[in-house]
A and B are shown apart, each in its own frame.
Chain A
Amino acid sequence: MEKGFSPVGLRVLVVDDDPTWLKILEKMLKKCSYEVTTCGLAREALRLLRERKDGFDIVISDVNMPDMDGFKLLEHVGLELDLPVIMMSVDGETSRVMKGVQHGACDYLLKPIRMKELKIIWQHVLRKKLQEVRDIEGCCYDGGADWFTQGQFLGGGEDVSFGKKRKDFDFEKKLFQDESDQSSSSKKARVVWSYELHQKFVNAVNQIGCDHKAGPKKILDLMNIPWLTRENVASHLQKYRLYLSRLEKGKEIKCYSGGVKNMDSPPKDAEINSGHQSPGKSSSYAFLKATETDPKQLASASVSDPTSDIHMPQKAKKTRIGFDPPISSGVFGSLLPWNDVPDPLESKPPILYENSFLQQQPLPSQSSYVANSAPSLMQEEMKPSYVNPDEFLMPQNKNSTVILQDMDLSAPFSSNATSNTESIPGSLNWELPEAHHSGSLDTDLDFTWLHGEHFFANSGLQNFQFQDYSNSSSTSLLSELPPHLWYGNDRLPDPDEYTLMVDQGLFIS
């Protein structure tokens, strides 16, 4: 059995009409030390969820169920309860997977499901929490100008493409967010550009033809959304145009080989293929590249995104890009004609699809410009001396994960960490450890790391490595390290192994 790290007590609801699978999944999840509730019927599951409003952290559901379509359940859960939902199926057909993503699934697992896939589902919970926090602090991310200045921190060559991609994603993400977020004091009605709304918008634009001629008034008329105003459309259009123009430029720069590697390196590591932790493949965008990779691989790719930047030192920002889902603008470009995607919902009041497809943009992209703009709450306070959370967040696949955090690694590091973890009870309270971080994190996101000892015990090299860093002049040493190392590996990878490492790292966002 693989060693892994999982937050104990994560409350999982499993829904599957297949009794055999239900039994197996229950056992597997229990082995992950999760708290499992099983359910054979979708309606029953919904009832349970509604009854115990805050009783569950995550839902795993099969797609095909007799009493209710899994996607419907997904919608309900997503909308009513805002819980992360993972879909499962024996069918890895791209269209189904896409459907899952569209309906807001945070992941799509192919049966037979492996332990390692279940071991990291907590990432989705964490990501969601982080998203919530970010949304609350929405204004922090509103550095509009930053999108344009991001180019400055981009290095040469390879980094550039990723950086650009990330910018685009930021932008795209922004498109979906509240556009009137800018002036928090503004009393304008909030327009939330949900996926569907944006799709209508794009449809209208495309219908008009050349989007340069498309004026807000025309678009508004075509969209036929009564509550939408011309101003809303105008501002959205402006953003959209900017986005398009940047895409155009971006298209010239092909997807970084690192990203490409991720996509088509099946022979590299069987684990990556079937596994769940490869961010390279694990992006929702992997779905779009269906033609290039086999569906199973795609479908099993999780949408776990690169590790959140919360413990990402500023310096690493630019080179950290490698962790982003390897989306080439081509892929994104293919995303653009959203008209292809069936529009399941009619004009509804705007709902922010937290889990919308593009939402699955890596958090890093979000906080990447945070780093550049005025330091945000999260970024600043989650500064790297924050070693422990990384440990927590790093699932141990095969290698020990050595968190090579920031410069502040000091000799007492290991002992601090150990003492920290020891004091933590074995249940998931998501509490922040007291020691070892600069400033408290006053977000409502608390997380703890458990099994710290387990963590240490796992890694033969770990202590050794820590010693290393504490003794040497850590600053210089770390600055030499390629950033992906910060995500832990007990060896220095060579460039070819870059993506391999990336895959083994932890990716949450």
Chain B
Amino acid sequence: MQRQVALIKQSLFDQGYLDEQFIELEELQDDANPNFVEEVATLYFKDSARLISNIEQALERGSFDFNRLDNYMHQFKGSSTSIGASKVKTECTMFREYCRVGNAEGCLRTFKQLKKEHATLRKKLEQYFQASK
């Protein structure tokens, strides 16, 4: 079981899903908060789901308010740095760039990719925490 945990974790890093922030979180984990990382991850996914749906709604409206979208994405990016969600962060940056130049098509495309990365990470982390128990 331990080996599986290690493998999952390694792949998460190798494939660039997570960055050193995740390690920082692990270092914060202690006896006082033995499940700290998992709690943080849970919190993140809950909060980011909310942000994603906000962005989705904003995009569906069709009237691309780039400022607003950028704001949402700024929040999302900030949130994603908290657990070291590296790929998600990259998509956020790209999205913001598209907002900056007012490229709606780019925004839509990137958002799709972002959601995908987000979902993948979520699944992988769930596996990871499951295996760690």
Contacts and interface: CB of A to CB of B under 8 A. Distances in A.
Main secondary structure of the interface of B (DSSP, over half): helix
B82 A24 contact: yes
Contact of A112 (B43, B44, B71, B81): B81
Contacts of A112: 21, 24, 81-82, 84
Interface string B1-40: 0000000000000000000010011011010010010011
Contacts of A114: 24
Interface in A20-69: 20-21, 23-24, 27-28, 31, 62, 64
Nearest to B39: A23
A90 interface: yes
Interface residues of B, number: 23
Nearest to B46: A19
Interface in B37-83: 39-40, 43-44, 47, 71, 74-75, 77-79, 81-83
B81 A111 contact: yes
Interface of B: 21, 24-25, 27-28, 30, 33, 36, 39-40, 43-44, 47, 71, 74-75, 77-79, 81-84
Given A20-B82, A24-B82, 16 more contacts: A1-B27, A18-B78, A19-B43, A20-B40, A20-B43, A21-B78, A23-B43, A27-B28, A27-B33, A28-B28, A31-B30, A90-B81, A91-B74, A111-B78, A114-B24, A115-B24
Contacts of A91: 74
Contacts of A1: 27
B55 to A, nearest CB: 15
Contacts of A115: 24, 27
A89 interface: yes
A64 B75 contact: yes
A62 B33 CA distance: 24
A276 B123 CA distance: 35
B83 A20 contact: yes
Interface of A: 1, 17-21, 23-24, 27-28, 31, 62, 64, 89-91, 111-112, 114-115
CB-CB nearest 5 A-B residue pairs? A90-B78, A20-B82, A112-B21, A20-B44, A112-B81
Given A1-B27, A19-B47, A112-B21, A24 B78 contact: no
Among A64, A89, A112, max chain B CB count under 10 A is at: A112
10 contacts: A17-B75, A18-B47, A18-B78, A20-B40, A20-B82, A24-B25, A31-B30, A62-B78, A64-B74, A112-B21
Contacts of B75: 17-18, 64
Given A20-B44, A27-B36, A111 B82 contact: yes
A31 B82 contact: no
Nearest to B89: A90
Nearest to B45: A20
Given A18-B82, A23-B43, A112-B21, A90 B28 contact: no
Contacts of B77: 90
B100 to A, nearest CB: 12
Contact of A21 (B36, B82, B84): B82
A345 B27 CA distance: 44
A20 B28 CA distance: 14
A114 B25 CA distance: 10
